[in-house]
Amino acid sequence: MVIIDGHVHISDAADPSIQEFARLGLVRPFSAEALIHHMDHPTPGIKSGEKVERALVMPFPVVTNVPSWDFRRQHQYVARVVKKYPSRLMGCMMINPLQGVEEACTVLRDLVRNHGFRAVKLHPKAHNYRPDNPTMTKELLVPIVEAARKLKVPVLIHTGDPLCEPSRIVPLIEACSDATIILCHLGIQNVTYSSDAVHVARKNENVVLETGWSPGARLKEAVNALGPERLVFASDCPVNDMWSWITTVRSLALKAPLGIDLSRKNIDKILGDNFAKLVSRSGRIG
């Protein structure tokens, strides 16, 4: 069994801008080395010797809002550590489309082809735009998702806040029906839109749901509605620790009513197998 965490944020503790963000309480440094230590050292209650094999890493959102930083500088630390730890880390480019779509797609192609990046993330809340605005969708978001589709990498989209309700993303999902889109946090973070996320996924076969932030009851609903093949494990570490969310996914194996008697094979699909297929450059589960 291979465990893959499909959503992690890292930062360079030595970077002056990160130190400033930390002083303001916006983000705390979390290095690649700190991440790998956490991946290799289960919290109490998890059997010794187990580890998270790989993680998809990206900058913290605040880094992508620095006006003087271009896309390459925003991702220089991630690119550096992915090169240093290629068997453990994969990169994800977080794109603020308001900073220029043409340049973003150029950098994305280079990061995927040459620097071990395997996904793209859009964050409407952090970058302050409405993903269901027709002009925004057509002119800024569709070109990014289409670039990802051609590169055969999935697109993560933050959900669980106003501006990030899953139903707001439907116009983009429908416009790019051949792209794989992962709805982050199963519609849950500050506000719960889990039922909305499940509904959107049921109506659109190109949508995958991410388990991060989701309690067991919502996971049971999602798996019952969609099947285990349509979910991928993610923790949103270091806001959350990986191991407690791994335990939540494994609780699906319990007998009803505590769990749904999910098989070990299907648990393994959620914890790693599904995401491994998505980032294998096939672009699809199955």
Is residue 26 a contact partner of residue 9, using CB atoms and an 8 Å limit? no
**Residue 268 pLDDT:** 97
Phi then psi for 4, rounded to 5 degrees? Answer: -125, 125
Say whether pLDDT at 81 is over 70.
Answer: yes
Query: pLDDT exceeding 70 applies to what percent of the chain?
Result: 91
**Residue 26 pLDDT:** 59
Looking at 24-169, list the stretches that DSSP marks H as alpha helix, in order from N- to C-terminal side: 32-40, 71-74, 76-84, 101-114, 124-127, 134-136, 142-151
**Residue 286 pLDDT:** 44
Is residue 276 a contact partner of residue 4, using CB atoms and an 8 Å limit? yes
The enclosing H or E element of 201 equals: helix 194-203
Mean pLDDT of 158-162: 93
Domain ranges of the chain: 4-282
What CATH code is assigned to 4-282? 3.20.20.140
Say whether pLDDT at 142 is over 80.
Answer: yes
Specify the length of the chain in residues: 286
The rounded distance, in Å, linking the Cα atoms of 116 and 110 is: 9
- The angle at the Cα of 145, spanning 141 to 150, to the nearest 5 degrees, equals 150
Q: For the chain, count helices (H), then strands (E).
A: 14, 8
Phi-psi category of 248—alpha, beta or left, where left has phi over 0 and alpha has psi -120 to 50?
Answer: alpha
Mean pLDDT of 241-268: 96
